[in-house]
Structure 1
Amino acid sequence: MSNHDTEEDWHEWRRRRVEAVSAPHGPLALTGTHWLADAEDGRLPRVPGHWREKGDELVLTASAADGITLDGVPVSGEVRLTAGRGGLAHGERALALVRPEGEWAVRVFDPAAAARQRFAGIDAFGYDPRWALTARFEPYPRRHGVRVANADGRERGLGLDGDLVFTAAGGEHRIAVAVEADGSLWGVVADATSGSQTFRFRFLRPPAPAADGTVQLDLNRAQLPPCAFSDAFLCPFPPPGNTLPFAVEAGEKAVLTR
């Protein structure tokens, strides 16, 4: 029994991945994540305006001369912003607001970023139907959090909602995953190829479980985390138990540059 995508579907997924990461404001364009806690007098490096936290909002004070726009309209005065609010820009650069664990930061996505100009594609293993698995989702009674190291060297919380249980390499294995807002799953994993044949760890984004708890787990779609494209991302490392004891010779390997 298999409802898995075909090799043709996988090639289309690969095409969309390259298109997304190389977009003008995609992961390759991230040039900086600037923390408000590190801002001297509310000023961020190479980002105009004055920034301060007020409750659950970030307050930006700027003049028209600063060149910051919100939804295409120049910011002149004070605006209150929430995490995830889009439409903020400085010229061609997009400014994204994030607040992991209550700490505010402004991310700068620059279409002229050097990494974007050097990008030549994503190296990957060829498609192998043996890695298109059927897993079982076992939800936890309640979400629980663990502390894991992040790519910037700091530990942060990671919320997990259940285990994906599957058979591969002659045995049964399980990895802890989170449930996304749309019901799909997300997990960060490593395996015997990590750090040698592939990046240090990779992300899995399986679809939502079926009514009977089964999940299409296509390891051909193991993908590079955002921090493989820019050092300014804060990717979490795999939580305890999410390092598989065998080689997953499937999915994305590394960023190719010219």
Structure 2
Amino acid sequence: MTTQAAAATEHDAFIADWQDWHRQQEARLADPHGFLAITGLHWLTGTPQRFADAPGAWSTGADGIEVVLDDGAELVIDGTAVRGSYRFGIIPERGGVEAVWGDAVVEVARRGGHDIVRPRHPDNPLRTAFHGTPAYAPDPKWVVLGRYTAFAEPRPTTVGAAVEGLEHVYEAPGRIEFELGGEKLGLTAFPGKAPGSLSVLFTDTTSGVTTYAANRVLQVPPPAADGTVHLDFNRAANLPCAYTDLATCPLPPAENRLPVAIEAGEKIPYERR
């Protein structure tokens, strides 16, 4: 195989890998009980409340979240049907339980120190009308080499949220330095989804123009032994708040507002245009 043919094959593989990633992103959104299926964001108090999109009366207190179901109503939790009164207990921050109600799922969770209920109904119009997310064409030039430096100890980092008045606190393990267009840049990293991986929330000068204004997120594989990381901005993804106001997504820390245009990754969803 010639050098030119090998390069073409490598480029084709790069494009195919990105297309697979983007399809998976859209499949998660289109899931019958994904974020596009959310019909309400309900904040619980000590006073029992009823919601049109969930069964029973819901409240929270020192012993955690409780629901009192009406006669004949039923939730299925971890495969077990429950009736009458059910106590979920104290849910940890960013934790949650899914309670099945017919063809819907009631998410019972804690966000920003508050207990919430978020029902997810497959027939929600936002979900049934979803037809994909626009994105920049993938380009290898947006795969950037960086260096990760761990902090001596994880730093508690408070950031705002898509919901006004709400805050999130993350333990930032370190910072990533890299260069783009001749400019030296840096990003504070949060723990990623997989062990050892990192997650970066950021904005750039495309934010609010071609990309969602509040935030995008980039998942970063675990750094090499020498701290080397690869930042593939082609996989800069929208968070749920880019599609719905019923999400509590975190905002980037101030130092992650990049003064350059990252013309890569997912763009403003059609739903926000």
TM-score, normalised to structure 2's length?
0.85
Change (3 A) 1:157 1:256: closer
Distance 1:199 1:92 in 2: 31
The equivalences for 1:194-205 within 5 A come to 194-200=207-213, 201-205=215-219
- Secondary structure at the aligned position of 1:252 is classed as coil
The equivalences for 1:101-180 within 5 A come to 101-159=112-170, 160-180=172-192
TM-score, normalised to structure 1's length?
0.89
1:25·1:94 contact (CA, 8 Å) conserved in 2? yes
- Counterpart residue number, 2:40: 32
Percent pairwise identity: 34
Distance 2:113 2:62 in 1: 10
What do the CA deviations read for 1:118-175 (whole angstroms, capped 9, x no partner)? 2111100001101011221112222223333311112413312211111112121101
Change (3 A) 1:56 1:244: farther
Q: Which runs of 5+ in 1 are unaligned?
A: none
Please report how far the alpha carbon of residue 72 of structure 1 lies from its aligned counterpart in structure 2 after TM superposition.
Answer: 4.5
2:220 to 198, 206, 210: 206
* Larger Cα-atom Rg: 2
> Which amino acid in 1 is paired with 2:49?
R
- Counterpart residue number, 1:23: 31
Number of aligned residue pairs: 253
Matched, 1:193 2:206: yes
* Structure 1 vs Structure 2 CA RMSD: 2.2
Q: Which runs of 5+ in 2 are unaligned?
A: 1-10
Distance 1:157 1:87 in 2: 22
Please report how far the alpha carbon of residue 85 of structure 1 lies from its aligned counterpart in structure 2 after TM superposition.
Answer: 4.7
1:64·1:75 contact (CA, 8 Å) conserved in 2? no
Matched, 1:9 2:21: no
Please, which moves more after superposition, 13-22 or 97-106? 97-106
- Counterpart residue number, 1:223: 237
Structure with the larger RCO, 1 or 2 (CA within 8 Å, 6+ apart)? 1
Change (3 A) 1:71 1:127: same
The equivalences for 1:51-130 within 5 A come to 51-55=58-62, 57-63=64-70, 65-82=72-89, 83=91, 84-130=95-141
Change (3 A) 1:190 1:179: same
